[in-house]
Structure 1
Amino acid sequence: MIKKTRAEITKCILHKVANKFNSGHNVFSENLIRFDQESYDLMKSFLLKPFGTLTQSYRFSHHADIRLNELNNYSSQIFADENVFVEFSKNMVNHLYEQSNSAQIKTGDVLVVLIEGIEYNDVLTEAVGVFKIENKVDFFQTYLDDNESFDVVVQKGISTKKIDKGCLILNTSDAEGTIVFSVDNNNYDAQYWIKNFLGVKLADDYNSHTQNYLEMCKEFSEEVIKPEFGKHKQGDFLANTVDYFKEHESVDYNNFKDEMFEEEKHKDLFEEYKKHYETLNDVLIRNNFDVSNVVLKKEKSKLKTEIKLDTNISIKLDVDAPEAASEYLERGYDEEKKMKFYKVYFNEEK
């Protein structure tokens, strides 16, 4: 996690990136943006706010040589000599342009910034930030017309609520490489920003281990449990998974299987899926790792445990209450109506 209390934007430039698939052309600025105090304060908050709560970081990767990773190379050149900032900011935009290989990749404004005073692990460092603004919002601009009357006109501008895509490349590294943080609030193509443009992978730490394991369990519940045993059992499994992570400081794979599944055939099913998931997603699921409570809190909010029925009735299961679905919810079949049913037990309505 980074701290931005003493962070200052020292250089900032704006370019426009087109879509190669549609034969568009990039448009480049030659000069840095000159802020007044009000716009500077707003811009600094807009760009850095999304990174204040991030716990998961990335590292640059490349199949041949890490020095051939474009963003790693360009940012290293800027850290070595700030005078090349404008030139290499254009290179970054050109590299981003080269990744737009489909019509769904959006054009937009690209802000490239140099930031000093970023704090990471109690050490002050600098960072290069790349931010892509893909969506603009309508707003009313008021003005005084020729008749000395006020009027309004609709204009489009950048919303200050959230950044669409952004990354911070820190001028610091660990045993795995340069520290990179990334946000993507318009994740229409999972490969475009993280893999193709940045060329990064999650750091090999307990944050990524926790996320990878929970994501595997989520997919297992969706692809195996739900089709085979129904939404009810899927909710049970997800709730029990969250409960296991809450009750244990570390995860042991064999112990997890023993607590989740009573029958050996179900344990084997989970084992087979784990191998399939690792191969399909090119990820290693650790058998033993410490639990990241921050990641657990974030990931459990993504777990869908609602049972939607074709009779316009929904039953929402609490993922934090693993015993509720098994003790107070029964599933059956009514021979007279020729319909499935759920029976719910409760003491009083809330």
Structure 2
Amino acid sequence: MKIEFAPLNVPLQRRLQTAAALQWVFSFLALAQVCLALFVLLALSDWWMLALLYAGWLWLDWDTPTSGGRRSHWVRSWRVWGYFRDYFPLKLVKTVDLDPKKNYIFGFHPHGVLVAGGFGNFCTEATGFTSLFPGLTSHLLMLPFWFRVPLFREYIMCGGLVSSSKASLSHLCSRAGGGNVSVIAVGGAPEALDARPGALTLQVLNRKGFIKLALKHGAQLVPVFSFGENELFDQMENPSGSSLRRLQNRLQCIMGVAMPLFRGRGVFQYSFGLMPYRKPITTIVGRPLPVQQTPSPSSGDIETLHQLYLQSLKQLFEENKAQYGLEEGQHLTFI
């Protein structure tokens, strides 16, 4: 394979953008392991008392990820996120104003490999979420597993990440006075295994838990489609039924996280690596679906709202696809 190296005269601005994207990839793929190793080393060193004190703090703070988290405007406003935004570039588009006196569930599609659009738009201020939606506070939901990792949990909560458990979503949706936005990558880990350029298949037909909670708490449902999310990485072919896919599904059941075999570009060359490609990502926040609070929703209530949500998501995609490089014949597929 011929390797295409990056030119030596790359402008400083682009180098900073690449560095910002690199630290983001590192945070997703390796920071948790590094934090865990540091905690173990601290516990085995002469500074073991610090590890013991932190363990006590961890016990006292165990429920914070399911109780709204602990965000930091300072961390969300770091300058590095501006470079991260410009690497792709990343853009957040509002279609209508949202009432800050209500709570919302944003259904984010597609999941992609590393949810770049979800992180950049809703865990940082790089694309101006609080300016676009004044009075609203965004929370991106993440697998509960990651909030059990010492030190790492503190960092991800600073960006507004919270647990994706039922208790966590219920806490956000039931806030008196409104103002909470819960962002859910509806397709979850299984959808990440299908994330590759050109993919328009969403795993959503059997995803109804967020619909039930929206009804139970009266939270407004908002479809969100992120154009370009699947264009950031190539992935090894793993069709349903293949040996690789069966292994990935098995590992997902055991570990709770997806293991996509993906590749992108490198830092100093463009031929291979784990860096995302420089492809534009435009995240469109659609119109809210009004939800009447139903403390004990029936299966019929859930199914009706779910169908309305799918129709709204499809409409959002169809209204915007031509503007972002998709052809008339390309449509979403729900599985």
TM-score, normalised relative to structure 1: 0.22
**Which is helix-richer, 1 or 2?**
2
TM-score, normalised relative to structure 2: 0.23
Larger relative CO (CA 8 A, sep 6+): 1 or 2?
2
Larger Rg: 1
